[in-house]
Amino acid sequence: MENGYYWRNRELRQQVSVIDGTDAPTLLLKNSTYLNVYTKQWLKANIWIANDRIVYVGENLPENLDGTEIIDCEGQYLVPGYIEPHAHPFQLYNPEELANHAARFGTTTLINDNLMWHFLLDKKKAFSMIEDFSKSPVSMFWWARFDSQTTLQDEESLFNTEEVLKWINHPSVVQGGELTSWPSLLAGDDRLLYWIQETKRQGKPVEGHLPGASEKTLTKMKLLGVSADHESMTGEEVLRRLRLGYQVGLRYSSIRPDLPKLIEEIVAENLQNYDNLTMTTDGGTPAFYENGLMNRCIEIAIEKGVPAVEAYRMASYNAARHFRMDEQLGSIAPGRIAHINILKEKEAPRPVSVLAKGKWIVKDDVNQELSPVIDWEKYGINPLSIDWELREEELQFSLPVGLNMVNEVIMKPYAIDTDITLDEIPAEKEDAFLLMIDKNGKWRVNTTIRGFTNQLGAIATSYSTTGDFVFIGKSKSDMLLAWKRMKEIGGGIVLVNKGEVVLEIPLTLGGAMYDGSMTELIEKEKQLKTVLEEFGYSFNDPVYSLLFLSSTHLPFIRITQQGIVDVKKKEILFPATMC
């Protein structure tokens, strides 16, 4: 296959020859009870697979079984591999490890955010890498971002018409968005409208990002080309979007685990048609994925009253149809990629066996070894090599306004009434120093933050929206020590208190991603949360708190490359200082 889902003529002829008995299938799943997503029935069939493709589903058995692996599926239930339609594959983990972990729980297709590639790679390398991802047994597709969801020093260099259109035209890119810059679209940004129109001309949907949007706003966005949205926070918001013709994603993420409530409310409204609903985990943090991805969403949907057949369709066929890939994905039918989950029971979506592109990912509850397909070093995604020093004079704090955390990700401005010229902020004060500094040491923004910690000496992190470095803490000396250790490990997250390193998470893939197993990373994230809670972090998701410090699609105030920004007014309140 090329680009994940096209077969060459020679392969197509070989697949047809299996039907004629000239060639043998590579795998036969006989006596199967499978979910037919088209008739919404559980049917008996024998399923023939030739390498990575389903070639036959029906009553017959192959004439030629020379070398065929035969699995008797009597008493088991087969469903299409699950599809995560809205993945952010960079939440400390890397996309390959996330994909492998997801597949072990039955999620065999990921539609991925491309934002990190804009910051880590030039376009040529990024395209080469996503073509390498097509060699994975997991189907990996991508979005084309239209904006950085922050305020950059030079946004135009990354998001311009030439760059955006080349991403849109790539065959592994299946949608535009997500559209966090929709206020600009409504305000008359015709270049953004042009990008949306070009995306639609390619036959690709555009994903919105419309939290709390009114019927009027939703209508305008539909007119301007937005196809889908995953930001519903109530059942009524789900129904409003459905009535307007949106494909609606129901979210179950670490930061917004809304799915149970949404399902309860739409079931209570006696929703009759689930065809335009999908589900998404929307970039959950590592520990949130300990027990899988879409399998968890299906479990919740069934528990809350969605018919099992509809729940499986929401996590497979509905998503494939939305992305116009339903002739390759989302069903068990001839011509589809051989993504199949084998279940013990119809209403138990965690599979006992998983096939991805016809290869066993899990077989009889035993995880199979997966060979890596991405050579990170080939693309220059290595441990950070930082050739400059953070100096004491760069830890000078004098701004009158700080950031007050309302929850994990929403921040309001507050007037600083603490003496922040000291080397250490007293423990009885809620404030902590907050420094964001360019990864190349060229600019910095110094302020304070309330709500992240009232005790910790310092946390230093290279994990942020843009890859710039963030420091939070009570002690300047601990900030310098955290900086030193972060440099030594090649990037990551380092916690220091009273001159001692308390915890570190190395992120040696570009300072943004963990180069190790998901199991290891899950434990490290749990430790991070535990330690931060001990030092006064009172919310539930510190990873997202760090990531979204500079995200200007969220209210009310942000720290960005250009300085402290008032999101609503789109004003820079205090500009960054050049180093």
> CATH code at 317?
3.20.20.140
CB contact at 8 A, 514 and 93: yes
Last residue of a domain, one of 323, 357, 376: 323
Indicate if 294 and 433 belong to the same structural domain.
Answer: no
Is residue 221 in a domain? yes
pLDDT recorded at residue 5: 59
Q: What is the rounded distance in angstroms from the CA atom of residue 337 to the CA atom of residue 356?
A: 8
Residues (pLDDT < 50) of the chain are 1-4
Q: What is the rounded distance in angstroms from the CA atom of residue 156 to the CA atom of residue 160?
A: 5
Q: Which of 146, 110, 515 is nearest to 320 (CA)?
A: 110
Q: What is the rounded distance in angstroms from the CA atom of residue 570 to the CA atom of residue 286?
A: 33
Q: Which amino acid, residue 102?
A: A
Token digits for 14? Answer: 């070989």
Q: What is the rounded distance in angstroms from the CA atom of residue 246 to the CA atom of residue 230?
A: 10
Distance from the Cα of residue 389 to its chain's centroid: 33
The count of domains in the chain is 2
CB contact at 8 A, 177 and 207: yes
Is residue 356 in a domain? no
Last residue of a domain, one of 299, 323, 347: 323
Indicate if 300 and 195 belong to the same structural domain.
Answer: yes
Indicate if 178 and 297 belong to the same structural domain.
Answer: yes
Q: What is the rounded distance in angstroms from the CA atom of residue 259 to the CA atom of residue 246?
A: 18
Q: Which of 245, 300, 295 is nearest to 107 (CA)?
A: 295
Q: Which of 485, 499, 504 is nearest to 390 (CA)?
A: 485
CA distances, 546 to each of 70, 345, 432, 434 (Å): 49, 40, 14, 11
CB atoms within 10 A of CB 378: 11
**Cβ partners under 8 Å of residue 4, min gap 6:** 134, 139, 140, 141, 171, 172
**Cβ partners under 8 Å of residue 188, min gap 6:** none
Where are the alpha helices (H) located in 187-255, listed in sequence order?
190-201, 215-223, 235-243
Is residue 386 in a domain? no
Indicate if 269 and 405 belong to the same structural domain.
Answer: no
How many residues belong to the chain? 579
Domain range for 552: 392-578
Burial class (CB in 10 A: 0-12, 13-18, 19+), 531: middle
Indicate if 306 and 415 belong to the same structural domain.
Answer: no
Indicate if 263 and 398 belong to the same structural domain.
Answer: no
Is residue 242 in a domain? yes
pLDDT recorded at residue 6: 75
CB contact at 8 A, 552 and 567: yes
If residue 248 lies in a helix (H) or strand (E), which one and from where to where?
A: strand 247-251
pLDDT tens for each residue of 18-32: 999 999 999 999 999
Last residue of a domain, one of 323, 357, 380: 323
Indicate if 310 and 177 belong to the same structural domain.
Answer: yes
pLDDT recorded at residue 537: 97
Is residue 451 in a domain? yes
Question: Looking up tokens 């929206």, which residue turns up?
Answer: 465
Indicate if 211 and 310 belong to the same structural domain.
Answer: yes
Indicate if 286 and 400 belong to the same structural domain.
Answer: no
Is residue 35 in a domain? no
DSSP 8-state code for residue 368: P
Question: Looking up tokens 């209210």, which residue turns up?
Answer: 555
Is residue 420 in a domain? yes
Q: Is the pTM of this model over 0.85?
A: yes
Indicate if 304 and 442 belong to the same structural domain.
Answer: no
Indicate if 401 and 292 belong to the same structural domain.
Answer: no
Distance from the Cα of residue 368 to its chain's centroid: 24
Is residue 108 in a domain? yes
